[in-house]
Structure 1
Amino acid sequence: MTTPVRLRPEIAALPPYRQGKQASPDAFKLSSNENPFEPLPSVVEAVRGAVSLNRYPDASATALRTALATRFAVTVDEVHVGAGSVSLLAQFVLAAASVGDEVVYAWRSFEAYPGLVTVAGATSVQVPLRADGGHDLEAMAAAVTDRTRVVIVCSPNNPTGTTVSTGEFESFMAAVPDDVLVLLDEAYAEFVTDSTAVDGETLTELHPNLVLLRTFSKAYGLAALRVGYAIGASYLLDAARATAIPLAVTEQGAAAALASLDHADELLGRVDRIVLLRDQVRRALIDQGWTVPEAQGNFVWLATGEHTAAAAQVFADHGVVVRPFAGEGVRVTIGEPSSVDKLLHAAQQIVDLTSR
């Protein structure tokens, strides 16, 4: 009998990341927070023009980093680009935390966080969300110890959609030691309309231990091309670059991101349409009797608790694929306008079934 290969026990016990369930051709896929709009023709043309498939891409994505540096009024060395913001999260956690160290984050939040911490060999410290689905930053600051190396703040929070206010975040940063890395995950920043919400791009110069993470996957609709970026102190970004898998950002991805920056106004106009629909859907759900957290991403959160599996099935029966979190709730992406009637009909049926 062949002896099994010896693996790290914590990795062997770690379930692999599962993306949102794929939808059949006649159903709406509202499980992965994807942008429903097709890429702009100019972006598609930029991708078609990046055809040197036999050549490696620029490992440092210099042109894209230069454009982002101009956009954020920082130096090129203060910009790091990776294959989506989740890969950047992995790099920073690996750079700062190891065996015996702790990483603090709110829970529930982005489901990749626990796995990233485990892979680094560190220990997760999960701080429960407030009753309104928001981060309890006071409790998170209190959870920081001498073993803490990283704190992750997700605003808007995935999957509840709530934001951290500027005042809350500033008080939090004042309470966290300067030698603890704070990662502000703003993957959905472009969808935020709350003027009190924290905006990381105004804060990295004030807090040398803060790194801002954003992505082209959501608002810019480049999920398939995997491009994210980080803004922060160059020595912190150098540490992340040291842990990165080289050449992870393709020439096509960088070209699409550059073209998207050139046409940002048009793309963000699409975001405005998604935001308008998001707010309409949230109001309709509240009118049905749901308690829906203040939604500031491109999704809404329904706390279905013990009825989560049944609720996900009701949505599926109506041709809507959602993202269930067992025993907690479902996250529903704001997708095509034509999906709204099915979404709301399913949501009403769930209310009717669970109120009997």
Structure 2
Amino acid sequence: MTAPEPTSARVRLRPEIAALPPYRQGRPAPANGFKLSSNENPWPPVPAVERAIAAAAAEVNRYPDATALALREKLAERFGVTPDEVLVGAGSVSLLAQFVLAAAAPGDEVVYSWRSFEAYPGLVTVAGARSVAVPNRADHGHDLDAMADAITDRTRVVIVCSPNNPTGVAVTRDEFERFMGRVPDDRLVLLDEAYAEFVRGPEAVDGRELLGRYPNLVVLRTFSKAYGLAGVRVGYAIGPVGILDAARATAIPLGVTAVATAGALAAIEPEAEAELLRRVAALVERREGLRDALVAQGWPIPEAQGNFVWLPTGERTVEVAERLFEAGIVARAFPGDGIRVSVGETESVDVLLRVLGELVEPSQEGPST
């Protein structure tokens, strides 16, 4: 007798979760192609980081330190705070989820700019809260005045992404300070700085300068991008102890592995970090050259302060993404809006410029500045 096929038809799921599309990674690059869809660091780990990860992997039969104390102590020393003012998580997106869960209940609102990091809507929905997405400005940056206007009695969290993923535009220091002056101090503000190490704009906001100034501000950063540890998942947040404790309470226990902690600790040792920051500088130089070349071709590329550039392709997004894929370039397409292209291997730049030079429309507007 054949057992019946299992079914979940009668399982009562939250309808908003059942309808929520899961986060999807970009498709793999074709053979001999370039994966420029995930903003990864194109270099392999530095030897010291590899050794630290291998050593930690030899003890994976043991549970990790749940608080990542050694890493928190190092980061606290670096940022001039106490270890209790540092929270380590499985990447900054995991920390974002913890803070949203800690502050926003069903019926509450979370305000963020849009388009911004594609995980934000899902994190808000999972918490049972409601997204208030404020359109970007014409230059693809945050409209902080409109975001402040959108705060209501139901608002519990406001997320500011600088530089903005996927458009690359950074919030300025003056803009952010004016914004914080308008946000009630009982609303949590999350400053998502996943790409902070790539910023070169002298007027851009820098979370390090804001620590201790606002009782409702948490700054988030990650080791995934500049430090090349995307595969082990480790990020951190800095902010008031009470807010961080609430986020700690929402975390899945033991989410940060010993391998991740070991890799991060090794990455911030002076010799390893110096090499990693040299790589960041090389990516910034490559980004600037790529953006300048695309602007010269006629593409309206906005300011680029992350390790990627934004192609505002609008209704042509699918067409342009497919042409890039045919040429061996996998980029992150957001149909109807544009394409985010990570700055990757040197060889990828020539391919990008050749294909995009063939696709640029003469009638396109000039670049945003």
Answer yes or no: is 1:279 the counterpart of 2:293.
no
Question: Residue 298 of structure 1 aligns with which residue?
Answer: 307
Q: Which amino acid in structure 1 is aligned with residue 210 of structure 2?
A: L
Conserved? CA contact 2:224–2:231, under 8 Å: yes
- Report how far residue 244 of structure 1 moved: 0.3
**What is the identity, as a one-letter code, of the residue corresponding to 1:150?**
V
Structure 1 residue 4 displacement after superposition: 2.6
Root-mean-square deviation (Å):
1.2
2-structure distance, mates of 1:246, 1:24: 38
Q: Which one of 17, 27, 31 corresponds to residue 23 of structure 2?
A: 17
Give TM-score, length-normalised by structure 2: 0.95
| 1:193-215 CA-partner distances (Å, limit 9, x unpaired) | 00100001111200010000000
After superposition, residues 1-356 of structure 1 pair within 5 angstroms as: 3-50=9-56, 51-262=58-269, 263-351=272-360
Using the alignment, how far apart are the partners of 1:299 and 1:178 within structure 2? 33
1:352 Cα offset (Å)? 5.3
Contact 2:172 2:203 in 1 (8 A): yes
Q: CA deviation at 1:178?
A: 0.2
Distance across 2 between alignment mates of 1:352 and 1:155: 29
Q: Deviation per CA, 1:272-307, whole angstroms, max 9, x where unpaired?
A: 000000000000000100010110000000011111
* Gap regions ≥5 residues in structure 2: 365-369
The amino acid across from 2:25 in the alignment is Q
Asked if the contact 2:298/2:361 (under 8 Å) is kept, the reply is no
Q: Which amino acid aligns with 2:192?
A: D
One-letter amino acid of the structure 1 residue matched with residue 259 of structure 2? Q
Amino acid at match of 2:83: V
Gaps of 5+ in 1: none
Helix, strand or coil at the partner of 2:140: coil
After TM superposition, give the deviation of residue 191 of structure 1 in Å: 0.0
| AA at the equivalent of 1:156 | P
Structure 1 residue 346: Cα displacement: 1.2
- Residue 22 (structure 1) shift: 1.5
CA-CA distance at 1:264 after TM superposition:
1.6
The count of residues paired between Structure 1 and Structure 2 equals 355
In structure 1, what is the Cα distance between the partners aligned to 2:362 and 2:303? 25
Structure 1's consecutive aligned runs of 4 or more residues displaced over 4 angstroms after TM superposition are: 352-355
The percent identity for this pair of structures is 65
What is the distance in 2 between the residues matched to 1:193 and 1:152? 22
User: How far apart are the structure 1 equivalents of 2:329 and 2:363?
Assistant: 19
Deviates more, 1:258-267 or 1:325-334: 258-267
Select between 255-264 and 180-189 the one with higher mean Cα deviation. 255-264
Query: Matched residue of 1:140: which SS?
Result: helix
2:367 alignment counterpart: none
Instruction: Measure, in 2, the Cα distance between the counterparts of 1:183 and 1:204.
Output: 12
Q: Does the 8 Å contact 2:158/2:190 carry over to 1?
A: yes
Q: Secondary structure at the match of 1:105?
A: strand
Residue identity opposite 2:24 in structure 1: R
